[in-house]
């Protein structure tokens, strides 16, 4: 049960900080408007770090906070399919709550902003081609999972492992690196 609470609240925190940086960068009359891609990728880096810290603090030892991570771990035998379903559902619900919180936090900005505001809560292919968008997300998701497994491998951790709390910071840096290197194609949702 703690695992589910941790995944729910951790995913909510991820979305508050992540969608929050998207809103801050794009909504009219926000002080952060136009801050640029480096602000977006940095915001998502720390969104992941804080989401993972929250998830672990509330009892989720895995702290996936992303259904892509959960399904990869299920395929690797970490979770049963029932655990995958329950974990993914609470992650989705936590993500919805986080998005609602961002919507409320920026409530007056929505009416002030002309044009599409969809990018605050979703990603899209910058070139408009669905197939290359999928390919870009697939590649980014692959490197997300590959990077996570490398960070937590015995070869990297050594015999004593990483210092407590350092792993989430490294995963945040991985998110930052992915955003800077592969995020420009689609906004890097990494849920392919």
User: What is the rounded average pLDDT of the residues 15-31?
Assistant: 96
The reply to whether 127 falls in a domain is yes
Taking residues 132-143, report their average pLDDT: 90
In this structure, of 16-25, 106-115, 127-136, the range with the lowest mean pLDDT score is 127-136
Does position 74 have pLDDT exceeding 90, yes or no? yes
- Write down the pTM of the prediction: 0.90
What is the tens place of the pLDDT at every residue in 91-106?
999 999 999 999 999 9
Which CATH number does the domain housing residue 142 bear? 1.20.1080.10
Structural domain range at position 146? 2-110+120-182
SS (H, E, C) the chain: CHHHHHHHHHHHHHHHHHHHHHHHHHCCCCCCCCCCHHHHHHHHHHHHHHHHHHHHHCCCCCCCCCHHHHHHHHHCCCCCHHHHHHHHHHHHHHHHHHHHHHHHHCHHHHHHCCCCCHHHCCCCCCCCCHHHHHHHHHHHHHHHHHHHHHHCCHHHHCCCCCCCCHHHHHHHHHHHHHHHHHCCCCCCCCCC
Residue 141 lies in a domain: yes
What the block records as the tokens of 47 is: 């969104």
Mean pLDDT of the region 23-27:
95
State the number of CA atoms in the 13 A half-sphere of 159 facing the CB.
0
Instruction: Give the pLDDT score at 155.
Output: 85
Domain for residue 78, yes or no? yes
Q: How confident is the model at residue 119 (pLDDT cuts 50, 70, 90)?
A: confident
Whether 155 is covered by a domain: the verdict is yes
Residue 76 lies in a domain: yes
Instruction: Report the pLDDT value the prediction gives residue 191, as an integer from 0 to 100.
Output: 61
Q: How many structural domains are present in the chain?
A: 1
Q: Which two tokens stand for residue 123?
A: 């990603």
Q: 76 exposed, middle or buried (CB, 10 Å; 0-12, 13-18, 19+)?
A: exposed
Of residues 145 and 109, the one with the higher pLDDT is 109
pLDDT band of residue 192 (cuts 50, 70, 90) is very low
Q: Which residue has the tokens 């960068």?
A: 25
Is 188 part of any domain? Answer: no
Task: Give tens-digit pLDDT for 35-65.
Answer: 999 999 999 999 999 999 999 999 988 899 9
Q: Residue 165 has what pLDDT?
A: 84
Q: Span 107-125, mean pLDDT?
A: 90
Q: Which of 17-21, 163-167, 188-192 has the highest mean pLDDT?
A: 17-21
19, part of any domain: yes
């Amino acid at each position: 049960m703690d695992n589910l609470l941790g995944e729910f609240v951790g995913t909510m925190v991820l979305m508050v900080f992540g969608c929050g940086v998207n809103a801050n960068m794009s909504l009219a009359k926000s002080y952060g408007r136009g801050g640029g891609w480096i602000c977006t990728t940095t915001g998502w880096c720390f969104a992941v770090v804080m989401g993972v810290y929250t998830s672990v603090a509330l009892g989720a030892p895995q702290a996936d906070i992303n259904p892509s991570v959960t399904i990869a771990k299920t395929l690797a035998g970490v979770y049963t399919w029932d655990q995958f379903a329950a974990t993914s559902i609470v992650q989705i619900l936590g993500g919805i709550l986080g998005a609602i919180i961002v919507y409320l936090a920026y409530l007056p900005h929505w009416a002030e902003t002309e044009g599409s505001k969809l990018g605050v809560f979703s990603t899209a292919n910058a070139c408009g081609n669905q197939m290359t968008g999928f390919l870009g997300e697939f590649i980014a998701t692959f490197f997300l999972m590959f990077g996570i497994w490398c960070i937590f491998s015995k070869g990297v951790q050594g015999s004593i492992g990483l210092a407590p709390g350092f792993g989430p910071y490294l995963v945040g840096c991985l998110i930052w690196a992915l955003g800077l290197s592969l995020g420009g194609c689609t906004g890097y949702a990494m849920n392919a």
